[in-house]
Amino acid sequence: MQKQLDALLDAARAELAAAADNAALEQWRVTHLGRRSEVTGLLRSVGSLAREERRAAGQAANAARRDLEAAFEARQAELRRSADGAQVDVTMPGYPVRLGSLHPLTRTLREIRRVLAPLGFRAVSGPEVEWDRYNFELLNIPADHPARDMWDTFHIHDKARPGELLLRTHTSPVQARVMEQIQPPVRVIVPGKVYRYEDRSAKNEAEFMQVEGLAIDEHITMADLRGTLTHFVRMMFGPDRELRIRASYFPFTEPSAEADMSCHACGGKGCSVCGGTGWIEILGSGMVHPKVLADVGYDPDVYQGFAFGMGVERIAMLKYGVTDIRSFYRNDLRFLRQLR
């Protein structure tokens, strides 16, 4: 019977290959898979065989039938594809996929966290509406200090405690909040929204994101600060980046430093991104002022450490080539999709 089946299959396959349209195909199906087809006949005849042959014959006939069915479907699909003489056009666009996106600031913040986490920095948050005490006084910026001019401040109406509630102008108050709650070692970063009483423009926002970093222990040095920042800019902007730090002034650090990195666009030769200088200013930093440590109850003769702060939009603008800081807050889907 196997021979009979093989012959049958060969013949059927040949006929199938010759079937060039749906009518011929249907004719073939009726002939070879229909109720009166040979295979069906063979299957029916299995019952009449000797008991010991039935099993093998039944399996062979069924296998043959499955082969024919598969061949039929394949030919059917082939004919469908070549219908009208057309191949599938693989350049057709895919059906719309509805996958959303994370905001570029969220993505940048996550990257910053990812870079600093292996160095032991944990991400913490603090309130955006703050007391004057945390935003200024505990950072060595007493009332009427001229350094307050560095931060144009939004004040909040509060009849009970006038003048004390404000929108934080930097993420630095969280430094004091963390240190008040735990003893060293401290190693945190603080991402979050900050506010400046400043007209919005392409370069300045009244609301923007900062990331603060703070590391306090018995032996953390300015060299550790520099090493951390160098690692950071290389992880964010490529292994060829160089870091330059220069003296600066912040009331809550001493010594203070501003950090520039060699321009990632021109490699330091000077271009429009870096204003021709080869350097891009990216953050402010320094060794935490002894007064700040003492005010939260740390002994400044025992503990020391560094702090740094950067604008997240600035990092994102450099990474993505965005030129208007307000783009991040317009939430235009064309922008969000481009930077997804």
Q: Which of 42, 72, 130, 295 binds another protein (CB under 8 A)?
A: 130
By CB under 8 A, the residues from 143 to 202 that bind another protein are: 144-147, 149-150, 154-157, 160-161, 165, 167, 174, 177-178, 181-182, 185-188, 191, 193, 195, 197, 199-200
Is residue 88 within the footprint of another protein (CB under 8 A)?
no
- The single residue listed with the structure tokens 């200088």 is 277
Q: Write the burial class of residue 55 (CB in 10 Å: 0-12 exposed, 13-18 middle, 19+ buried).
A: exposed
By CB under 8 A, the residues from 278 to 307 that bind another protein are: 287, 289-291, 304
* Torsion sign, CA atoms 110, 112, 115, 121: negative
CB under 8 A: which stretch of 6-14, 22-30, 53-61, 254-262 binds another protein?
Answer: 254-262
Query: Could you give the CA distance from residue 5 to residue 152 in angstroms, rounded to a whole number?
Result: 92
- The single residue listed with the structure tokens 């007209």 is 199
Q: How far is the CB of 244 from another protein (least distance, A)?
A: 8
Q: How far is the CB of 276 from another protein (least distance, A)?
A: 12
CB under 8 A: which stretch of 10-18, 23-31, 66-74, 247-255 binds another protein?
Answer: 247-255
Distance between first and last Cα of the chain: 64
Q: Which of 34, 41, 127, 321 binds another protein (CB under 8 A)?
A: 127
Q: How far is the CB of 186 from another protein (least distance, A)?
A: 6
CB under 8 A: which stretch of 9-17, 32-40, 50-58, 209-217 binds another protein?
Answer: 209-217
Structural tokens at position 13: 């396959």
According to DSSP, residue 183 is labeled P
Structural tokens at position 94: 């895919």
Q: Which of 45, 221, 323, 338 binds another protein (CB under 8 A)?
A: 221
By CB under 8 A, the residues from 307 to 336 that bind another protein are: 328-334, 336
Helix or strand run (H / E) with residue 249? strand 243-250
Beta strand 165-167 pairing with 253-262: unpaired
Residue type, 79: L
Residue type, 209: M
By CB under 8 A, the residues from 42 to 71 that bind another protein are: none
